[in-house]
Amino acid sequence: MTEDLVAWLRTQLDDDESAALGAKGDTSGRWTQDDGPPEDIVLFDKSGKLTLGQARHIGRHDPARVLREIDAKRRITEVHHVVGGWQDEDGHDLGDGCEECGHSEEYSDRGGWCETLRLLALPYADRPGYREEWRP
């Protein structure tokens, strides 16, 4: 059970990666957002309902940038993993904790997941499989 959060989070990152790679397509071009006048924004929208704010948001989420963010989050999950064997000074078992952050009573109560992992998972709280016990 202690690896459920990490496994679930990695699945979400895999899904984001697939979407970003699919959005990137066969072009080598980079999506960008320019703070210049609206006429400097080039975006094709067949429905004609895309707002300037939406276009700027899309430009800021270039697939290459999203892929860098996914890579960084994966690296964080590799550093912050649950380990057992935490003991107090008298040798009493304290339960699970994070190898990077250490042990706290709160981490043990939440399966050993540190605040860092729970915060990484929070943006995905609206996706299937997210558990309220993971909420920071």
pLDDT digits (tens, 9 = 90+) for 21-53: 777 655 555 655 555 554 454 555 666 666 777
Cα dist. 35→43, 49, 54, 60, 126 in Å?
Answer: 14, 20, 13, 11, 31
Q: Which residue has the higher pLDDT, 16 or 113?
A: 16
pLDDT tens-digit map of 73-89:
999 999 988 877 777 78
- Regarding predicted confidence, which is higher, 6 or 32? 6
What pLDDT, on a 0 to 100 scale, did the predictor assign at position 69? 94
Q: Is the pLDDT of residue 71 over 90?
A: yes
